[in-house]
Structure 1
Amino acid sequence: MVSLWLRDRHFSKAQNQKEQGFTLIELLVVIVIIGLLAAIALPSFLNQSNKARFAEAKAFVGTMSRLQQAYYLEKQTFADDITRLNLGANTSSASFTYSVMAGDINGNPAIPQLKQIITNVAAPTSPNLRAFVAVVGIPGVVRIDTVFCIANAANIAILPGSLDSAGQTMVCPTDFTLE
């Protein structure tokens, strides 16, 4: 009698345990929700590496611009070669090559006017990145200004920056936008 009772009790527990757990539909719903969340988050996560590379270029070009200003205050001309700035760092990284581009106040690279304007360049080494430049110059008589510009697209030609027609404001090169 006791053995029959124990057997029936064990059998009823086994049936109750079979009813516990997740159904296939519940598992599919969870997988779909996780997939949607991943699809939303993945693009912004993948873009973080490009943002970090751009921050590196912006910081390096900003340092170059401050060194150009100091160089001008000391020598009354801008440095036309990056080695004259005494950066104390490599002029290239895994993502960018840094250089100085001379030109005139109209953005013409053929006739440098080092006493008025210089363009510091971060040229990307990868075709997926956009170039970054800082135009340093003397608009007017009293001050040294800098404007930071980013390329509108990847793989474009980099030209020197210029002054506006009144000679009072720094202007980004062609195909660049003020940052």
Structure 2
Amino acid sequence: MGHEAIAATTTLVFTYGTLKRGFSNHVVMQDLIRSGDASFRGVYRTLDKFPLVCGPYRVPFLLNFPGSGHRVIGELYAVSPRGLARLDELEGITLGHYVRLPIRLEKKDDREGEGEGEGSERCVGEAYYAHKSYDEEMWKRNGRRSLGAYTEKEARGYVKRVDRPQHLSFLDHIRIFVSSPP
């Protein structure tokens, strides 16, 4: 298969949380890169503003409320169908944890300033958004305050899946979190 054919079969995935370099789930991306099922494309940010919030156990959630929040900074990967299936499983797509939807992106310029550069590299990728069954409650629980990026500061206190109470589902954890006082 030529390079063009391989590129045509990949999906661009925007990661904004624990899948980024230096964070707890990046080992999954490293495995996908090693197996040829993903490649790093660069640091990108959303063209539109979106709320990025932390939920239970400091898990990051991108909320599909364009126009609210910030232009979120993250990383872009080209992912094969096999790699995408693995990410979908990690993100609980079939369980109603997250949904994967399109997102408009721009390559982040290393220069100062937040302006959109002339001729900047833009694309449409896909991102894992909080499921609509709890996104509004998550936004309210966070006081309608958003992060511009999930950084080491926000990740402090993150609890890995294996270290969370196992008798509750992830959605149970979310329901408890959104119904508790901030």
The question of a shared fold, defined as TM-score above 0.5 by the shorter chain, is answered with no
With the length of structure 2 as denominator, give the TM-score of the two structures. 0.25
Structure with more helix by fraction: 1
How high is the TM-score relative to the length of structure 1? 0.25
Q: Which has the higher strand share?
A: 2
Max Rg structure: 1
